[in-house]
């Protein structure tokens, strides 16, 4: 019973925090709220017997990526979303366009709900098959990562290098050679 309670608590926290992220005008609060959302998701990963993913979520997402976002928010010092004149007269603000957009959004929600309702096997309790210790251990994870997925793993390191060089080149001030 307590497992169910923890699940609803964590998923509710994740959903509410994410909804508040897109409801904020100040990106500073958005970044802080999304860290709460990621923490709740890390709790859900622990419930799914994936403790290593949960720790990586906290360290990489909440620790590294969100600190990067915070740095940029502070660096640019543009806290408020600017509402210029041309923003209010934007073509997407016209009532007809807004109606079409709302219709498409409603369609997406209906499609997602329909897919979830009509799919089979949704009521099977997760984790009924397969031992938790088998897939939850770092040993099993590392063995698969460094044998079956070794090429993708090495390609990832090249991707990180390219991203690092790209970020340095893009963020450099113009005029410096």
Partner 1 sequence: MIPLGHYLFVSAVLFAIGTAGVFMRRNLITILLSIEIMLNAVNLSFVAFGRQLGTVDGQIIVFFVMTVAAAEAAVGLAIVIALFRHRESLNPDAFTSLKW
Residues 53-112 that bind partner 1 (CB under 8 A): 53, 56-57, 60-61, 64-65, 68-69, 72-73, 75-76, 78, 81-82, 84, 86-87, 90, 101, 105, 108-109, 112
By CB under 8 A, what part of segment 115-134 binds partner 1? 116, 119, 121-131, 134
Told to check if 141 binds partner 1 by CB under 8 A, we report yes
Quote the least distance from Cβ 94 to partner 1, whole Å.
14
Quote the least distance from Cβ 53 to partner 1, whole Å.
5
Site string (146-165) toward partner 1, x via CB under 8 A: ---x--x---x--xx-xxx-
Distances (CA, A) of 8 to 1, 15, 70, 93: 11, 10, 29, 37
Told to check if 43 binds partner 1 by CB under 8 A, we report no
| Options 9, 15, 74, 150; binder of partner 1; rule CB under 8 A | 15
Which alpha helices (H) appear in 58-94, and where do they start and end? Answer: 66-76, 85-88
Tell me, by CB under 8 A, how many residues bind partner 1: 85
How far is residue 9's CA from residue 162's CA, in Å, rounded to a whole number? 40
What's the CA angle centered on 39, arms 126 and 72, to 5 degrees?
A: 135
How far is residue 164's CA from residue 68's CA, in Å, rounded to a whole number? 13
Told to check if 9 binds partner 1 by CB under 8 A, we report no
Distances (CA, A) of 157 to 70, 115, 154, 163, 164: 25, 36, 5, 10, 11
Choose between 72 and 99: whose C-beta lies nearer to partner 1. Answer: 72
């Amino acid at each position: 019973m307590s497992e169910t309670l923890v699940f609803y608590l964590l998923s509710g926290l994740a959903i509410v925090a994410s909804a508040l992220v897109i409801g904020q005008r100040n990106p500073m609060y958005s970044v802080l709220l999304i860290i709460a959302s990621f923490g709740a998701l890390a709790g859900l990963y622990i419930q799914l017997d994936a403790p290593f993913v949960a720790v990586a979520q906290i360290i990489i997402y909440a620790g590294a990526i969100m600190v990067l976002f915070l740095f940029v928010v502070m660096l640019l010092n543009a806290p408020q979303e600017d509402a210029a004149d041309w923003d209010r007269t934007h073509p997407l603000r016209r009532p007809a366009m807004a109606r079409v957009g709302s219709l498409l959004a409603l369609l997406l929600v209906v499609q997602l709900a329909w897919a979830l309702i009509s799919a089979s096997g949704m009521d099977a309790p997760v984790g009924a098959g397969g031992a938790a210790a088998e897939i939850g251990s770092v040993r099993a994870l590392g063995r698969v990562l460094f044998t079956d997925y070794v090429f993708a793993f090495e390609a990832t390191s090249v991707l990180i290098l390219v991203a690092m060089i790209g970020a340095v080149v893009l963020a450099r001030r113009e005029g410096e050679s």
